Amino acid sequence: MTRLTPDLIEGVPDDKIDLDSRLLRMTGKTVKGIALEAAGLEEGDIDLSEFRVGVVPITSGLGVISGFSASVDAIVRRLGMDSHVTEGTDVNGFAEAVDDGVDLIMMADDNRFVAYNTRTNRHTDNSWGTAKGYSVALKNAAGGLEGKEVLVIGAGYVGSWAVRFLKDMGADVRVTDIVFPKAKALEDAYGVKALEDVDRALSEHTLILNAAPAIFSGEKIAEGSIFSTPGVPHYFDEEGRRKAKAIIHDPLEIGTAVMAVNSARYSL
């Protein structure tokens, strides 16, 4: 995943209500609804207000991203959980959260972002949560995926998980990547179809999960396409926005919400 920058997550907590209304329009579900479905739960299966969360800022590597912990904290609180950002950072913050008796600890360095369930010693990874959340969003936006052709762009961590989730949802999955052997490896592992020409694949599909840090010019996009697109940078030109039926995107919320709810589920 591309490193998030402060400008990408600026306003994330405040935009949340708007994201819910956009998601409701495109998928019939809110962020919480998508997170519950992604975790295999239904409304009423879990009382999220019973969960206490500590978000630990991590200074290692490229360091703290301004606004990151606050955004994660706000997203988790919007789900109804009781969350706070720890005063300490790194190991100190982790110990503080454990001493405080939290149920979940959320923290990210440059490579991993996890929601750790302190009761069960299990965690949910952001790549998994992002792929699951955006697959569920695409399924709902498309009115089901059974027997439908779905193109996954990007064969990295998120794309590889998405290939599996979409296949499990009954989709006829195709995968493409600018590094073709990565797509081919998924074909060999999961029996999906690897496509070599990314632009052609894009123009020939209308259900797309984009897990690549790529920008696609509108002329290559098929009319009526539904994009579930966690990849950043995120940009669609005017033609692309006009042709697309739905563009599902946010910089942090869906993946984070899925991680939190899925890790909370481990306590059930």
> Binding residues for ligand 2YJ, per CB under 6 A?
1, 3-4, 57-58, 64-65, 68-69, 108-113, 126-127
Nearer to ligand 2YJ, 186 or 221 (CB): 186
Q: How far is the CB of 258 from ligand 2YJ (least distance, A)?
A: 12
Q: What angle do CA 262, 187, 173 make, to 5 degrees?
A: 60
CB of 5 to ligand 2YJ, least distance (A): 9
Q: State how far the alpha carbon of 229 is from the alpha carbons of 93, 224, 239, 247, in Å.
A: 32, 15, 17, 7
Say if residue 191 is exposed, middle or buried (CB neighbours under 10 Å; 0-12, 13-18, 19+): exposed
- Helix/strand/coil for 46: coil
Q: Which residues contact 117 (CB under 8 A, 6 or more apart)?
A: 103, 104, 123, 263, 264, 266, 267
Q: Which is nearer to ligand 2YJ, 136 or 158 (CB)?
A: 158
**Residue 129 or 240: which CB sits closer to ligand 2YJ?**
129
Cis omega (within 30 of 0) for bond into 13: no
Measured from the CB of residue 108, what is the shortest distance to ligand 2YJ in angstroms? Answer: 4
Instruction: Give the whole-angstrom CA distance, residue 77 versus residue 54.
Output: 11
Nearer to ligand 2YJ, 135 or 225 (CB): 135
Q: Find where tokens 């940009």 sit.
A: 235
- Kindly state the smallest distance separating residue 79's Cβ from ligand 2YJ, in Å: 19
Q: Where are the alpha helices (DSSP H) in the chain?
A: 6-9, 12-27, 31-38, 68-78, 90-99, 126-141, 157-168, 180-190, 198-203, 238-243, 253-265
User: Smallest distance from the beta carbon of 68 to ligand 2YJ, in angstroms?
Assistant: 4
Nearer to ligand 2YJ, 1 or 171 (CB): 1
Q: CB of 100: closest distance to ligand 2YJ in angstroms? A: 18
Name the minimum Å distance from CB 89 to ligand 2YJ. Answer: 8
Terminal CA-to-CA distance of the chain, rounded, Å? 30
Distance CA 133, CA 229 (A): 11
Cβ proximity to ligand 2YJ, 97 vs 201, nearer residue: 97
Q: Which is nearer to ligand 2YJ, 21 or 66 (CB)?
A: 66
- Region label for 83, one of left (φ > 0), alpha (ψ between -120 and 50) or beta (otherwise): beta
